[in-house]
Amino acid sequence: MTTSPVAADLADASFHLRLYVAGQTPRSALAQANLYALCEARLPGRHHIEIVDLMDEPARARTDGVIAVPTLIRVSPTPVRRVVGDLSDTARLLAGLELGPLATEGAAS
C-alpha cells in the first residue's frame, strides 16, 4: 500500500509543509504528532515543518485562507496542496500530499 509509485519530480523534492492549528488542543497535538511521524518515515531529510497557531496569529487565517483546523498546506513543491483534519488517516494524507494514490481501497485491486 505504501509502495505505490510517486510522481517522479516529487521523488527527491524537498517538502515545505505548514500546519495551521488553533491553540494547544488534543486535536492539534495529534495532528502535529501524525505529521512528524509521516515526515520521518516518508520524507527523511527533505522536509521542513512550520506550525502556525492561529490563536497567536489570527490574521493569518484570512491571509492564508484557512477555515478548518487543523489544515496542512504543502507550500512547496507547488502546486499548493491542502489537507484538513488531525492527519490520522495516513493514506488520505499521503494522497493529499501526492505521496501515494488517492483511492487506496477498492480501485487498486
Partner 1 sequence: MTVGPWPLSESGTGVLEKAATGIEGFDDITFGGLPRARATIVTGAAGSGKSMFGVEFLAQGARAYGEPGVLLSFEETADELVANAASIGVDLRAMADEGTLVVDSAAGDLDDLVQSGAFDLEGLLLRLAAAIDAVGARRVVLDTVETLFSTLPDETTVRREFARLLRWLKERDLTVVVTAERGQQGRLTRHGIEEYVSDCVVVLDHRVEDEVATRRMRVAKYRGSPHGTNEFPFLISGRGLVVMPLHHDELTEVSEERVSLGIPELDTMVGGGVFRGSTIMISGSAGTGKTSIAACAADAACRRGEKALFLSFEEPSGQVVRNMRSIGLDLQHWIDKGLLVVQHMRPAITGLEAHLASLHMILDEHPAEVVVLDAVASLSRGVASYASASAVARDIAMLRLRGATTVLTALAGTHDDPHTDVSASSLVDAWLLVRNVENDGERNRLLMTIKNRGSFHSNQVREFLLTDDGPRLVDVFVGPDGVLTGSAREQQEARDASTEDARRRDQERRRASIERRREEVEAQIATLRRQLEDELADFADVDDSAADEAADRAAERADSAARRVGGGGP
Taking the C-alpha atoms of residue 55 and residue 65, their distance in angstroms, rounded to an integer, is: 15
User: What's the first-to-final CA gap in the chain, in angstroms?
Assistant: 11
Q: Taking the complex as a whole, how short is the minimal distance between the CB of residue 48 and partner 1, in angstroms?
A: 20
The smaller minimum CB distance to partner 1, of residues 45 and 52, is found at 52
Q: Taking the complex as a whole, how short is the minimal distance between the CB of residue 35 and partner 1, in angstroms?
A: 10
Question: Does 20 contact partner 1 by CB under 8 A?
Answer: yes
Distance of CA 58 to the CA centre of its chain: 20
User: Cell triple for residue 16?
Assistant: 515545505
Q: Which of 18, 83, 99, 100 binds partner 1 (CB under 8 A)?
A: 83
Taking the C-alpha atoms of residue 109 and residue 38, their distance in angstroms, rounded to an integer, is: 25
Prior bond to 26 cis, omega within 30? no
Question: Does 34 contact partner 1 by CB under 8 A?
Answer: yes
Interacting residue ranges for partner 1, rule: CB under 8 A: 20, 22-23, 27, 30-31, 34, 54-55, 58-59, 61-62, 65-71, 81-90, 92-93, 95-96, 102
